[in-house]
Amino acid sequence: MDVPPDTARRTLAGATPLPKREAPPSGESEPTELLAVPAPAAAPKVAVSTVAASTVAASTTPRSRPQAVDSRTETASRRPPKVDPELRERPALALPGWVALLAMVLAAVSVVAVLARAGVLPQWGGLPDLRGAAAKELGRAAVTDWMLGAVTAAALAGLVALTGLLANRAGETRVLSSWGRYRGTVRRAGLLWVNPLLRRRRVDVRLRHWRSEPVQVTDRVGMPIVVRLLVVWRIKDTARAEFAVADHEAYLREQIHAVLTRTASTLPCDSNAGPGPALRDGQWFADELSRGLAAEVAPAGLEVFSVQPLALEYAPEVADSVRRRRLADLDAGLRTVLVDDAVEAAALAVRRLERATAHELDEAARSALMEQLLVAFVAPAGVANPLPGTVPAPVVRGAARNGAASKEGNRA
């Protein structure tokens, strides 16, 4: 019902004046007072209907309800550990190997030239005389200070060039550090030259696989299972693999065990007991292991390509009981299928017999014949019929009706 138009313009004449209230203390809001306004009899109904409508609208308004959280969603949203964001692989300063070899050759030529000028080297016939004027006048070796300095500098340059040479094979890197500080990584293959004062650590970045030992975990229903895994991985960030963890291979093995335990507990191993997904169904188990392990080992600079379960079996202490239960379920299902097929075959045989003889059997004969056919179909081979001679003679309903009609005619 709508509100009349004159109700909104009703004045306060005749209303009882309200007593004055003292001002509320500072910091508090003044309460709102409702004025008693005389209204016609229909006004309360309007207010009640309006309140009821608002209440119904509020009750029908959709509210946010807590949704069920799947354990697999929690596993997927788990935050991996954090590492220093500045600890990342970066290329180190490395010169081509021919530069060091050229420096060594120049250093050797310089030493030979200085020693020949000083007269230290002997003179061979047919070779030009490279001795200086002082050595020629004295007739012996004349070594000066600048010659000693030049020989020392050339020898040091050759030594630095020699000790800085690095032969890096394909699939391997060198992590350089000095006084515990990371200086860079050399990924180029071949003969290179790096700072000889830096420490070099060889890191294999080739694709590797690891076959785990049998790991015993429990599935969602608490059954102990044994899993063997094949993990394909490699080192992606050499700086984190060397400095973020103490031993990246041991870290990988522990994370495999943890991720396997957490993932195996989300689903049962088999779905024989009831409908639903299981660990043996499809590729979900392998994909979840690969995704979870990749997220866990990424802070350590490792990259996981795939985690494949090679074996998924029950633990030895429960394997026999589970096998017997599975065989019993298969046997029960097979028996049900055999009985259903035997019933359909017996019913079909009875119907074909009735069509062939053009007579309809009574209920007793049909039941007895069905029983004999079921025993013949279901009983094992070589077992005699346990109910011989129990099939009564088939009574043709048409003949019975003719006999009854003739008896009634004789009586008449």
Write the DSSP string, 166-177: EEE-TTEEEEEE
pLDDT of residue 263: 92
Q: Return the DSSP state at 31.
A: P
Per-residue tens of pLDDT for the chain, all 412 residues = 444 444 444 444 444 444 444 545 444 444 444 444 444 444 444 443 443 444 434 444 443 333 433 444 444 456 767 778 889 999 999 999 999 999 999 999 988 888 878 777 766 666 666 676 666 666 666 677 888 888 899 999 999 999 999 999 999 999 999 998 999 999 999 999 999 999 999 999 999 999 988 999 998 888 899 999 999 999 999 999 999 999 999 999 999 999 999 999 998 888 766 667 888 887 899 999 999 999 999 999 999 999 999 999 888 888 777 777 777 767 666 777 777 887 888 888 888 888 888 778 788 887 888 778 777 777 654 445 554 544 444 444 444 445 444 544 445 4
Token code pair at residue 325: 């239960």
With CA atoms as reference, report the closest residue to 87 among 203, 296, 244, 200. Answer: 244
pLDDT of residue 172: 93
> CB under 8 Å to 201, separation ≥6 — which residues?
174, 175, 176, 177, 242
Query: In 276-397, which ranges are E strands?
Result: 302-314
With CA atoms as reference, report the closest residue to 290 among 232, 329, 247, 250. Answer: 232
Q: Show contacts of 73-82: CB within 8 Å, 24+ apart.
A: 75/262, 75/263, 75/266, 75/288, 75/292, 76/291, 76/292, 78/292, 78/295, 80/295, 80/296, 80/298, 80/299, 81/296, 81/299, 82/299
pLDDT of residue 384: 53
pLDDT of residue 14: 41
Q: Per this entry, what is the length of the chain?
A: 412
Beta bridge partners of 233: 208, 304
Contact 231, 210 (CB under 8 A): yes
State CA 372 to chain mean position distance: 58
State CA 257 to chain mean position distance: 13
- Look up the pTM and report it: 0.58
Strands 199-204 and 208-211: unpaired
pLDDT of residue 210: 92
